[in-house]
């Protein structure tokens, strides 16, 4: 039985596709919209292979309000949105800021306007820990709680904090409008999910991160080094005040992160909290050198790297304090850094061309056997 209907904007991307999978496995109907700018439609096939269910898919740009209207018109049962659609590279955002504001902020406005027209009242927003900026500028803010003041240090982070404000204003406006009309307005809700560094792949080895062009995240870059697509990893700075001089991040397995979106949506539907922000992280900080060591262990040999200058806008420590999500959502990370490295290596080693190749036959047979059980 279908428990609800969700539009997943940016649903063929890395986290979006894993969240679409988690929603289907929890008996939601899923409609994906994506421009395929940095993702592949093949993700839809992999979702179907694993779940046995195929989400509806529309190729459209999130800034195209009329195209979004059409999807809502064709699926009047959609009553929730999970919004991932965005450009997401910190370094690139400094080079083309207007494009980041056009897509990330403009696209969110178009989506929210269309939601309002079609009375779609719950939105889960894929935000980021980058909205906090350098949390070490305040005492006792590492690991970072949701009460840490917002202060992004790069364009990408500023687009995310801007969208958080827009969503908050919109939900409050809709609730106030309903109250003036003598209604509760409690159906209007938003979750702002601030997450840290997603990593890993599906343990089956047939679904993972497949960025088009150059990946911007540490582990996919390391994976490319491991299969010889890249000569070495560039480490941006070894003069931070950490145990080994490299920046500290909180890495979270993508399966745990996808589940976080599912439970946040369920919370909105059950508790009608208005606007809530939650950190989704492990609470464990790892340096860049920690990660190189962990992934090298999964691969079975040391991977080459070179230390270069820091990137503008990077900060020392982004480690989550996830206790609010632990308590209110009854959610916590269950998979380890070693799990993430093992799953990513299985994916990369066996799918060096990502979604541009068929998944290994033995993996499909294993998957089919496990679904029969």
Transcribe 109-170 into DSSP letters. HHHHHHHHHTT--EEEEE--GGGG--GGGSTT-SSBPTTSPP--SSHHHHHHHHHHHHHHHH
Q: Region 246-258: what's the mean pLDDT? A: 97
pLDDT given at position 348 = 95
Q: How far apart are CA 26 and CA 363, in angstroms?
A: 23
Confidence grade of residue 214 (pLDDT, cut at 50, 70, 90): confident
User: 76 and 116 in contact (C-beta within 8 Å)?
Assistant: no
Q: How far apart are CA 296 and CA 204, in angstroms?
A: 21
Q: Region 278-284: what's the mean pLDDT? A: 97
Q: Mind telling me the catalytic residues?
A: 156
Does the CA dihedral 224-14-10-58 come out positive or negative? positive
Q: How far apart are CA 151 and CA 217, in angstroms?
A: 22
Structure tokens at 279: 């950190």
User: 344 and 208 in contact (C-beta within 8 Å)?
Assistant: yes
Q: Mean pLDDT in the chain?
A: 96
Tens of pLDDT, residue by residue over 69-97, are 999 999 999 999 999 999 998 889 999 99
Structure tokens at 69: 């209207």
| Count of Cβ atoms closer than 10 Å to residue 228 Cβ | 8
Confidence grade of residue 160 (pLDDT, cut at 50, 70, 90): very high
pLDDT given at position 217 = 85
Q: What 3-state class would DSSP assign to 351?
A: coil
- Of 237, 209, 236, 213, the closest CA to residue 223 belongs to 209
Confidence grade of residue 371 (pLDDT, cut at 50, 70, 90): confident
Q: How far apart are CA 146 and CA 152, in angstroms?
A: 14
pLDDT given at position 372 = 76
Q: Region 203-211: what's the mean pLDDT? A: 93
- Inform me whether the pLDDT recorded for 373 exceeds 80: no
Backbone angles phi, psi at 312, to 5 degrees: -65, 140
Domains of the chain, first to last: 4-371 (3.40.50.720)
Distance of alpha carbon 280 from the chain centroid? 10
User: 225 and 232 in contact (C-beta within 8 Å)?
Assistant: yes
Beta bridge partners, 279, equal: 194
337-350 and 218-226 helices, crossing angle to 10°: 50
Percentage of the chain with pLDDT > 90? 93
pLDDT given at position 1 = 87
The number of residues in the chain equals: 373
Q: How far apart are CA 13 and CA 16, in angstroms?
A: 5
pLDDT given at position 316 = 93
Confidence grade of residue 209 (pLDDT, cut at 50, 70, 90): very high
Which residue is associated with the tokens 């406005």?
109
Q: How far apart are CA 4 and CA 23, in angstroms?
A: 9
Alpha-carbon distance values, 124 to 130, 163, 192, 349 (Å): 17, 12, 6, 33
Q: Region 353-364: what's the mean pLDDT? A: 94
Q: How far apart are CA 156 and CA 89, in angstroms?
A: 7
Q: Region 197-219: what's the mean pLDDT? A: 90
- Inform me whether the pLDDT recorded for 216 exceeds 80: no
Confidence grade of residue 204 (pLDDT, cut at 50, 70, 90): very high
Confidence grade of residue 27 (pLDDT, cut at 50, 70, 90): very high
Percentage of the chain with pLDDT > 70? 100
Q: Cα torsion at 340, 345, 348, 349 (round to 10°)?
A: -160
pLDDT given at position 312 = 84
Beta bridge partners, 205, equal: none
Structure tokens at 343: 């799953």
Confidence grade of residue 219 (pLDDT, cut at 50, 70, 90): very high
Q: How far apart are CA 172 and CA 177, in angstroms?
A: 9
Which residue is associated with the tokens 């209604």?
183
In what helix (H) or strand (E) does residue 348 lie, and over which residues does it extend? helix 337-350
pLDDT given at position 358 = 94
């Amino acid at each position: 039985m279908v428990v609800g209907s969700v539009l997943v904007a940016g649903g063929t991307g890395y986290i979006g596709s894993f969240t679409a999978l988690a929603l289907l496995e929890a008996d939601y109907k899923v409609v994906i919209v994506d421009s395929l700018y940095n993702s592949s439609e093949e993700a839809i096939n992999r979702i179907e292979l694993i779940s046995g269910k195929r989400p509806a898919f529309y190729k459209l740009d999130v800034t195209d309000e009329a195209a979004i209207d059409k999807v809502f018109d064709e699926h009047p049962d959609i009553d929730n949105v999970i919004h991932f659609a965005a450009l997401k590279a910190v370094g690139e955002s400094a080079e083309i800021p207007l494009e980041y504001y056009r897509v990330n902020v403009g696209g969110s406005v178009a989506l929210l306007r269309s939601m309002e027209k079609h009375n779609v009242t719950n939105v889960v927003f894929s935000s980021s820990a980058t909205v906090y900026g350098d949390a070490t500028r305040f005492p006792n803010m590492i690991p970072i709680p949701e009460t840490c003041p917002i202060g992004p240090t790069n364009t990408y982070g500023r687009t995310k904090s801007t969208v958080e404000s827009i969503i908050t204003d919109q939900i409050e406006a809709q609730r106030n409008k309903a109250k003036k009309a003598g209604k509760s307005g409690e159906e209007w809700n938003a979750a702002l999910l601030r997450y840290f560094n997603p990593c890993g792949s599906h343990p089956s080895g047939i679904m993972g991160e497949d960025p088009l062009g150059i990946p911007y995240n540490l582990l996919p870059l390391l994976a490319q080094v491991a299969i010889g697509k890249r000569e070495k990893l560039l480490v941006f700075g070894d003069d931070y005040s950490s145990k080994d001089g490299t920046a500290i991040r909180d890495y979270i397995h993508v399966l745990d992160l996808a589940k976080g979106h599912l439970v946040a949506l369920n919370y909105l539907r059950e508790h009608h909290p208005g606007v809530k922000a939650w950190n989704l992280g492990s609470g464990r900080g790892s340096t860049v050198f920690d990660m190189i060591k962990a992934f090298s262990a999964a691969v079975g040999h040391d991977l080459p790297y070179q230390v270069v200058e820091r990137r503008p806008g990077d900060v020392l420590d982004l480690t989550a304090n996830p206790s609010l999500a632990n308590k209110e959502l009854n959610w916590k990370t269950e998979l380890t850094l070693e799990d993430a490295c093992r799953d990513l290596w299985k994916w990369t080693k066996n799918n060096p061309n990502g979604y541009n190749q068929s998944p290994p036959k033995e993996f499909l047979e294993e998957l089919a056997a496990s679904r029969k059980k």
